[in-house]
Structures are given as structure tokens and as C-alpha cells.
Copies of this chain bind each other. A is one copy, B any other.
Amino acid sequence: MLEHGGRLLRAARRYGIPASDWLDLSTGINPETWPVPDIPARAWHRLPEDDDGLAEIAADYYAAPRVLPVAGSQAAIQALPELRSRSRVGVLAPGYAEHAHAWRRAGHAVETLSADELLAQRARFDVVVLIHPNNPGGDRFEREALLALHEELQARGGWLLIDEAFMDATPERSLCGETGREGLIVLRSAGKFFGLAGARAGFVCAAPDLLAALRDRLGPWTLTGPARHVLRHALADRDWQRRMRAQLLAQGERLAALLSVHGLAPTGGSAFFQWRRDPRAAQWHEALARRAILTRLFDEPASLRFGLPGDEDEWRRLDLALAGIALNESSETQR
């Protein structure tokens, strides 16, 4: 198992602070959850049915020709490498580590490279995996560059796989609309934007043959009935989506500004999180944890990711904590 954010219960035990006292900034999940309605009993009771309209509503929201609902984009990340014979795979790094892990496990020859290296050395790969915007680095790619990259890969039977888990605040940059093209696969996640990480719901946009193969690989009933019910409504709630896009873009900027004030200007980020490479990332992480603020620490490169605080109290709490740590820096690091 790789290490991930969101391990609040473990942090609570480690630091001896009850889970309910923490401010959890360790994930890139929107702190405002789409308002989940009551779940009809039949959604719990019956086997989920894949012809309930969710795929069509998702195709509409993602503006994609065809969409396969999956149990979180994680499920697709794990299954897609098993649909190809042994390939040379270039994966963006640092990035969401499950991609490289899944391709390696399926027996492919995997290299992890920076965005610049990956694009420059594209000729060496059958499959290129990008995260856009990248997590945690926030790297962005131009539409025309991506389509050209796809064309080159596709010409030799390759794939361009783009993980757009954090794309919802900037839909104009999405390539979902282009996924009628063979070999162009885009992953989307309902967890981040809709704040529904517990629902384990994601979507794959790709050409029909590939979606059929993936569906067969994943087997029946991959999404729960309650998740399908919630998603059918959340993906159709255009008013909430419009408001949330603006709100997240503003909060991403606010977080970058707050961190900068405290000497932690972000190296990169997105509407959902900010990321800072810092040789003292581990000390910052530890000092914040002692104040019951959980961030996500990366060892390689040494860096820290901050998710968005929710309400004004949480913004204030982060502000005060960062100020306190800056003031007591020398004593903190000696503890």
C-alpha cells in the first residue's frame, strides 16, 4: 500500500489528539460537500443497475461523448494497465503515485519523469500518463500540445492517459470532449470537486471499445446504489457547480496568499490545494500536527501539500498556527 492523505484516525492516535479536534488539510478534497439528500431505501437494498441514467448525466457534465462510471478514478488507475500488453510507460512525477505503482504491478516498463522530460522524450514511450492539473505540483499543459502528443502516441498504437481529478474548477482546460479519439483516455473524480471522497465515484472518458473492455475488466456493480443516486443529482446540479467553481478558484488563490504571508510561498498548486517544496517540510508538518492541523508530507521531493480550510474559523486557525510556528521556529524544531 502506498501512503496517502486523509489518514486522520492514525494521526489522532499518534499525536494523542481526538479526531474531532483536527483541522484536516491533508487531502485536496473540496471542504464543502455537495448537499447530500436522503437516500431512498431501494438504493441500499437493490443491486445497482448500470442503466439508471448515471452514465448519460455524467457524459453531459463532463461534455464527453461517452463515460463509464467507476468506483473512484482509483479503480480505473488500477485496471487500465491490465488492458495492454507490456508497454513502455512514462508517468509524470512527482504526481499521484498510484499511477506508476499500477503500471509497474501489471508488468510494464515504467519510468517517472518531470513534465518537461516526459514531453521531450515522448518518442520512447507507448503510453504517457499525465495528471492535469498535476497533484501535488500543479503542472498545467496546453490543449494543442496534449492533442499533438496524443496523435503521436496513437499513431503507434499508444495511449495518452490524463488524470483530470482536479480539473472541475477549470473545465475549459479538460480534454474530455476529445475522448472520441482512440487512445485518448481521461479520468475524472467526483470526490474532489463535489467533496464526496467517501462515495468512491469516478468516471472514465474514452472511446467505446476501450470503455467496454474496462467495464468487463472491472466486473459488475462497481458503484454502490447510494453513490449512484447521489451522483445522478450532484452531476446535474448546475447552479451549485457554477458557484463552486468560482468559490474554489478564489479559495485556491487565498490559500496561496496566506502561505506566502508566512514565508511558505507555494511552488505550485491548483484551486484545490497548494504545494510547497521545502527542505524543512517535515518540521512544518510536525509543528502543524502538534497544533492538530494535518497536512500531507511528501519525502521525495521534501514538500508539503495544504488543502483548503472550510469556514472562516478554519482559515483563522491555519493563519494563527503558521504565525505561531514562525515565531517559535527554533524551539519547535528542537523538541
Contact = CB atoms under 8 A, between A and B. Distances in A.
Interface of A: 1-2, 4-10, 24, 27, 29, 33, 36, 38-39, 41-49, 51-52, 71-72, 74-75, 78, 98, 102, 191, 195-200, 215-216, 219-227, 230
Contacts of A226: 39, 198-199, 224, 226-227
A44 B221 contact: no
Contact of A29 (B6, B41, B45, B230): B45
Among A10, A48, A216, the most chain B Cβ lie within 10 Å of the Cβ of A48
The 7 closest A-B pairs by CB, nearest first: A198-B225, A6-B47, A33-B45, A47-B197, A44-B198, A200-B224, A9-B49
A36 B44 contact: yes
A24 to B, nearest CB: 8
Contact of A224 (B5, B52, B199): B199
A46 B6 contact: yes
A240 B99 CA distance: 43
A199 B48 CA distance: 9
B216 A1 contact: yes
A314 to B, nearest CB: 14
A221 B196 CA distance: 13
Nearest to A227: B224
A238 B38 CA distance: 26
A295 B202 CA distance: 32
A308 B93 CA distance: 53
A44 B33 contact: yes
A215 B222 CA distance: 17
Nearest to A38: B38
28 contacts: A1-B215, A1-B216, A1-B220, A2-B220, A4-B220, A7-B49, A10-B51, A29-B46, A33-B41, A33-B45, A39-B226, A43-B198, A44-B199, A44-B230, A45-B196, A47-B191, A47-B198, A48-B198, A71-B200, A71-B222, A74-B219, A98-B219, A198-B224, A199-B225, A199-B226, A200-B221, A200-B224, A224-B226
Given A8-B46, A29-B47, A33-B45, 18 more contacts: A1-B220, A5-B47, A7-B49, A9-B49, A9-B51, A38-B38, A39-B226, A44-B195, A44-B196, A44-B230, A46-B197, A47-B191, A47-B198, A48-B198, A71-B71, A102-B219, A226-B226, A226-B227
